[in-house]
Amino acid sequence: MGEKSQVPPKKPRISPMWKRTVSQIFTKPATTKYPFVKPQLGSDFRGEQVFDIKLCVSCGLCSRDCPAKAIEMVEVDGKKRPQFMLDRCVFCYQCAESCPRNAIKSSVIYELATTDKPSLVIKPRASSATEATS
């Protein structure tokens, strides 16, 4: 009874979170230097819509097929033309697929953030032939 049972001392244990924290110090950052270095965009990127009024036949298919109802037909040069409201747009490009004349195309313009909501409306401009006669 005089003998004491000896318990081996516990090794200090490093927590898994601490190991991960230390390992992250030596890894390359996952982020980019965005405003200074622009990202490389793929050819199928869906940015702001580009509308060519000369190709438009005023059929209204783009407005009818838009799932977000982000296209409104407005009167320009005596014809109904699409007006895009980018604050509603989900960039699905159903409008471009529906257009029989390919008047709507995608672009790589992606910096659309603003506090000025009216600047997110792309209004159709009158064709240059009409502007020259006015």
Does any domain span residue 2?
no
Tell me what pLDDT residue 115 has. Answer: 94
Does any domain span residue 102?
yes
Does any domain span residue 97?
yes
Q: Which helix (H) or strand (E) holds 64?
A: helix 61-65
Tell me what pLDDT residue 22 has. Answer: 87
Domain that holds residue 67: 44-127
Indicate the burial class of 56 (C-beta count within 10 angstroms; 0-12, 13-18, 19 or more).
Answer: buried
Mean per-residue pLDDT pooled into runs of 10, the chain (134 residues): 69 81 85 86 90 94 97 94 96 96 93 94 76 44
Enter the pTM of the model.
0.69
For 75, other C-beta atoms within 10 Å of its C-beta total 10
Sign of CA dihedral 36, 40, 124, 117: negative
Tell me what pLDDT residue 130 has. Answer: 46
Tell me what pLDDT residue 16 has. Answer: 84
How far does Cα 116 stand from its chain's mean position? 17
Does any domain span residue 8?
no
Does any domain span residue 35?
no
Q: How many domains does the chain have?
A: 1
Does any domain span residue 111?
yes
For 84, other C-beta atoms within 10 Å of its C-beta total 24
- Residue 93, domain CATH: 3.30.70.3270
Does any domain span residue 25?
no
Tell me what pLDDT residue 14 has. Answer: 75
Q: How far apart are CA 122 and CA 106, in angstroms?
A: 14
Does any domain span residue 83?
yes
